[in-house]
Amino acid sequence: MKVLVTGANGYLGAGVVKQLLDDGVEVVATDFRSDFIDSRAEIKEGNLFELDDPYTFFGKPDVVLHMAWRDGFKHASLNHINDLPSHYDFLSKMAHAGVKRICALGSMHEIGFFEGSIDENTPCHPQSLYGISKNALREALALLCKECEVEYQWIRGFYIVGTSTHGSSIFAKIAQAAQDGKTEFPFTMGLNQFDFTDYDEFCKQVAAVTEQDDVLGVINCCSGRPMTLAQRVEKFIEENNYNIKLLYGQFPDRPYDSKAIWGNDFKIQVIMDKRK
């Protein structure tokens, strides 16, 4: 199997590329830069949206794992809407040229305001430009793959916990603050409950989804259980022995964040169980 990973130099992309390579998969990795890409991969720097025939350019991969996406943590960025046609055009070229399977990274922000466990049948009412754009690509890609008879997988990611400062998540910001010697960190009240997955586990789950074609469609990569943001951040600080105190109530919760939302992990557990 040859897998093309787009966005391979990103916070998540770099970890997934490494996991795929560790699993013995042939990887073609592409991004604007390659600072964080495992050197075992075949690396191609550049703008994939400018290619007339990306399928041939990337060596006719069996699977494309589309992780490329800019401003992922800036949910109001106009780039989400502006880039959407380019994402679809690239995936359309791959589908029509002959790629066997398209696996794309989505987000729980496609769902919008919802309380409880979500699965592939949960209605989507996104409330940010990021969520709207991801959801639009999901729906368009499902139609495209059906039309071209290409296998379709949509990985719905939740909240990823990692110690890298290469990223814009709350955990990356705390890691950066600790590295800078700060002892206080302004925070919300942290009462919202989310689904958290450790970085390495998330990369294993994404790789596992990509390496199989028995389970298709929308697949939650998640832990399957909720935890308050405050509990997980306090645990994160303790796990890494950071000398940082959270200043609760300094920032308001985002109005579009659900009070309690987590993923149904049935499909990902079926996939992970087959790897054992």
159 part of the active site? no
- As a whole number of angstroms, the distance between CA 149 and CA 196 comes to 34
Task: Annotate the chain with DSSP letters as a single string.
Answer: -EEEEESTTSHHHHHHHHHHHHTT-EEEEEES--TTS-TTSEEEES-GGG-S-HHHHTT--SEEEE---S-TT-TT-THHHHHHHHHHHHHHHHHHHT-SEEEEEEEGGGTBS--EEE-TTS--B--SHHHHHHHHHHHHHHHHHHHHT-EEEEEEE-EEE---SSS-SHHHHHHHHHHTT--EEE------EE-EEEHHHHHHHHHHHHT--SS-EEEEES-SS-EEHHHHHHHHHHHTT---EEETTSSPPPTTS-SBEEE--HHHHHHHHHH-
User: What is the total residue count of the chain?
Assistant: 276
Q: Which residue in 11, 55, 88, 130 is the catalytic one?
A: 130
Which residues are tagged catalytic? 130
